Amino acid sequence: MTRPTSRDVASAAGVSQATVSLVLGGKWRGRVSERTAALVREAADTLGYRPNLAARNLRLGSTRTALLVVPALTNEFFARVYTGAARIASDHGFGVVLYPSPDGTGPARDPFPSARAALDGVIASSMAAAALDAIGGNGGNGLPLVMLDSDPTAGRAAAHVNLAMADGMRQAAEHLLGLGHRRILHLAADVDTWTFRIRAETLAAVLGPHAELRTARAALTATDARTATEAALTAPGPRPTAIVCDDDILAAGACKAARRLALRVPEDLSVTGVDDLALATAVEPELTTVHLPAERVGEQGMAALLAVLDGTPWTAPDIPVELVVRASTAPPPPPARP
C-alpha cells in the first residue's frame, strides 16, 4: 500500500500543500481558519498520513528535539515536569530528550558530546544548571536556553519559567502565624540555588517581625532531614512548635524525627512541606504543603522554548501556587505550667 503524502492530504481537504504544512506543523494559528485546520487534520487522520520528520528536519535544518535537564527522576516533581513538557512538544512535532543528573542534585555531566548538532534547544532546572556549560546552552553563543525555577535577572537564558515560590512560602508562614506559632524552624534544603534562597528570604521577611525563626539544613533525603531535625529539636532553648520544610521529602524526615522524640504531629509540632507529592497524602497525618503544579512548569518550559525558536519574545507571569492545608498543622501546644 502506497504511503499517503502531504499532496494527498491537501487534495482530500481541498487546500494547498502549504496549508497542510502549516496545520500539521502547528504554525497555522493566525494564518489558517479553525475550520480549515480541522479539515486538514480530519483528512490526515482518514488517510493515515504521518509526516516524514526526517525529510522535514533535513529541509529545515532542525532536529525538532529539546533537551530537558533535571536533577533526578527519582523525585516525582521532575517526572511531572517532563510529562508536561513532552505533552506540549508532541503537539508541535517535537521530541524531548530527558537528562537527569547522575548525582541526583547538582552538576550533571555532558549527556553526549554532539549535543549542539543533535538538539534545537535546552530546558533546564536551576538545580542542574552546571550541566549547561558542557553542552553549550548559554543563551547566547550556544543552544537556546529556557531556565526553570531560576533567577529571572540572570542573563544567560533566553526565557525563564518560574513558580510563584515566594507567595507559596508566604502562605505557609501566614498559616502558621494564624494558628498562633511563634517559634518556628526552617528545615532548609542544603542546595545553593535561587529557588531555595527565595524560600529562605521570604520566610525571614514574613516571620521575622512576628516569630523566632531558626534554620537547620539538610540534604534532600528523609534520612538527612530526620537527623537535622532531631538535632534542632533537642538543641538548648525553647523547642520550636512548627517546622517549615523546603520540600515534602524533608517534611517526611521531620515527621520521623518527631516520632523518634515522642512528639505528636500536629499536637506537639506542626510540619509543612512544599511540592504536594504523592508522599504528602501517604504519610500520617497527611501533610500540609504548598502545591506546585509541576506539569504546568513543563508545559510552559516547552512553550517558552518554542517561542524562542520562533523568534517570539516570551513573557508570562509566575505560575501560581497554593497552600493545601491538611492534618499536619494545628495550633501550638499550651505553654508548660511552671
Per-residue model confidence as pLDDT tens digits over 310-336: 888 888 999 999 999 999 999 999 886
Confidence check: pLDDT of 97 > 90 = no
pLDDT tens digits along 98-141: 887 655 554 445 554 444 546 888 899 887 766 665 555 444 44
Cα(86)–Cα(83) distance, rounded to whole angstroms? 5
Closest to 157 (Cα-Cα) out of 204, 208, 194: 194
Least confident residue range of 109-123, 210-224, 291-305: 109-123
SS (H, E, C) 45-114: HHHCCCCCHHHHHHHHCCCCEEEEEECCCCCHHHHHHHHHHHHHHHHCCCEEEEEECCCCCCCCCCCCCC
Q: b/e map of 256-275 (b: 16 or more CB within 10 Å)?
A: bbbeeeebebbebbbbbbbb
Cα(59)–Cα(44) distance, rounded to whole angstroms? 21
Sorted by where each begins, the domain ranges of the chain are 6-51, 59-161+294-316, 165-293
Cα(70)–Cα(131) distance, rounded to whole angstroms? 10
Is 6-51 assigned to CATH 2.30.30.100?
no
Residue 267 makes CB contacts below 8 A (sequence gap 6+) with 330, 333
Cα(249)–Cα(266) distance, rounded to whole angstroms? 17
Mean predicted confidence (pLDDT) in 32-46: 88
- Grid coordinates of 293: 503544579
Confidence check: pLDDT of 173 > 70 = yes
Q: For the chain, report the end-to-end CA distance as a whole number of angstroms.
A: 90
Whether the domain at 6-51 and the domain at 59-161+294-316 fall into the same CATH topology:
no
Confidence check: pLDDT of 177 > 80 = yes
Q: What is the pLDDT of residue 137?
A: 47
Specify burial of residue 2 (Cβ count, 10 A radius: 0-12, 13-18, 19+).
Answer: exposed
- Grid coordinates of 274: 512544599
Mean predicted confidence (pLDDT) in 172-178: 98
Among 21-35, 88-102, 231-245, top mean pLDDT goes to 231-245
Confidence check: pLDDT of 40 > 50 = yes
Is 59-161+294-316 assigned to CATH 3.40.50.2300?
yes
Q: What is the pLDDT of residue 5?
A: 80
- Return the CATH class of domain 165-293: alpha beta
pLDDT tens digits along 251-275: 999 999 999 999 999 999 999 999 9
